[in-house]
Amino acid sequence: MKKKIIIIDKMHPSIFPDLESEGIDFNYLPDISRDELKSIIQDYNGIIVRSKTNIDKEMLDLGINLKFIARAGAGTDKIDDAYCMEKGIEIFNAPEGNRDALGEHTIGILLALFNKIHTGDSEIRDGIWDREGNRGIEISGKVVGIIGYGFMGSAFAQRLSGFDCEVIAYDKYKDNYADENARAVDLDEIFKEADILSLHVPLSAETNGLYVPDFFMNFKKNIFLVNTSRGPVLPLSGLIQLLDTGKIMGAALDVLENEKLKSYNNTEKIVFNNLISRKNVVLTPHVGGWSFESYKRINDVLIQKIASFII
């Protein structure tokens, strides 16, 4: 019997012929609401989701015929993985599909921060030509510390290989992960040696809110920070404190603690307005892995994993 899946987020159109070529029956409902999904999920063996809704215990209990969940992206923090394991439901994600986009973007925002590209561009548009005020910093000669050396961290390290810098990496959950692009170290060496810290960790109960001022006070040097992982791992109120003291000399962020800007309460607005007023902060709207190429490549990865599972 054919497996039937539902796709609940907008996907690159290449997914349709790919699924058809594998003989997979699907319904494409990118505009479906959560309540609508709850009413029909029992009819499906699999679901492809990007970020529309949490696939939580409530949804999983309704999906009595679910065999797999495929996340069109790298992170799986919106899926209750423990309950999926309990129910025997497989989870597929596609970090292989957007690792290149993420690696390039991380280089891009670090270069923007170091070379003040954001401020230079803004000032010129306002008729200001300030060379000295936009003097840059070189990556060359720096020690770049990477926390989290999976697909994303290693993609960033690979792209640093031409910058004449030293790259050290720490990953709590991996063994023997050193490669030609990074030296594996313990966390203490990250604290001791890093000039730049780049976060590439998943969002989990352990990492949620982990990177607070107490963590950064372990660093021997004042550092520059890059976060292209998940916003909630780095509370912004703590980041403001670290920027105020100079412990963090500048930050490049592709993600925010709360990315729904229009939902901010007064406290969040105060912190956000403080952050965006700073010239030593570069912000992008969670687009690190979101290139035109990765949009399609994520499909390729997911279809391969789904087809292998169904076979």
Looking at 159, 230, 257, 297, which residue is catalytic?
A: 230
Identify the CA nearest to 229 among candidates 183, 270, 286. 286
Task: Assess whether 230 carries a catalytic annotation.
Answer: yes
Within 10 A of 151 (CB to CB), how many other CB atoms are there?
21
For CA atoms 265, 266, 270, 271, give the dihedral sign.
negative
Based on the residue annotation, tell me whether 297 is a catalytic residue of this protein.
no
Asked if 179 and 161 touch (Cβ cutoff 8 Å), the reply is no
Question: Of these residues, 86, 138, 259, 293, which one is catalytic?
Answer: 259
Can you give the length of the chain in residues?
311
Q: Confirm whether 183 is a catalytic residue.
A: no
Per residue, the 3-state secondary structure of the chain, as one string, reads CCCEEEECCCCCCCHHHHHHHCCCEEEECCCCCHHHHHHHHHHCCEEEECCCCCECHHHHHHCCCCCEEEECCCCCCCECHHHHHHHCCEEECCHHHHHHHHHHHHHHHHHHHHHCHHHHHHHHHCCCCCCHHHCCCCCCCCEEEEECCCHHHHHHHHHHCCCCCEEEEECCCCCCCCECCEEECCHHHHHHHCCEEEECCCCCCCCCCCCCHHHHCCCCCCEEEEECCCHHHCCHHHHHHHHHHCCEEEEEECCCCCCCHHHCCHHHHHHHHHHHCCCCEEECCCCCCCCHHHHHHHHHHHHHHHHHHHC
Rounded Cα distance between 263 and 134, Å, is 34
As annotated, the active-site residues are 230, 259, 286
